[in-house]
Amino acid sequence: MSTPVGGNAFLHELELTVRTELTQAETGQPYEQAITVPIDEWLSDPADDQRYEASLRSLLGAVEALEDGFGPGDRPSPAEVPLSVGTARYSPSGPDRRTRTEGW
């Protein structure tokens, strides 16, 4: 975790908040156990909990990247980009959508 410098105090505070939320999400009931509880006893939807945790991880990564100095013009090298990001162009509802009947 980085320390606040000048204008990064907001980012540092956001990072602490996201880390706290992520810790709470990680220590919650595991998905496999949560789905065995009757639905009328759920405090929240286990699938929503998984999505929330994933979004927190994404937000934390963005905050860390900003704190490390990635600005709008800076881009990580291709070696630093996870493979999943490189394949993220496909969108089931986007302009690159293809079906098997269209020659896929």
Residue 89 maps to a domain: no
Containing domain of residue 37, as a range?
6-76
Within a domain: 85: no
- Quick check: is 14 in a domain? yes
Q: Is residue 75 packed enough to be buried (19+ CB in 10 Å), middle (13-18) or exposed (0-12)? A: exposed
Question: Confidence class of residue 50 from pLDDT cuts 50, 70 and 90?
Answer: very high
Q: pTM of whole model > 0.85?
A: no
How far is 75 from 81, CA to CA, in rounded Å?
Answer: 9
Within a domain: residue 51? yes
Overall number of domains in the chain? 1
Q: What is the mean pLDDT of residues 15-24?
A: 94
pLDDT, tens digit, 9 for 90 and up, residues 81-103:
555 554 444 444 544 444 455 55
Query: pLDDT tens for residues 61-84?
Result: 999 999 888 555 555 566 665 555
Two tokens, residue 15: 């990072």
Whether residue 88 lies inside any domain: the answer is no
Give the number of other Cβ atoms within 10 Å of residue 83's Cβ: 7
Residue 100 maps to a domain: no
Classify residue 82: in a domain, yes or no.
no
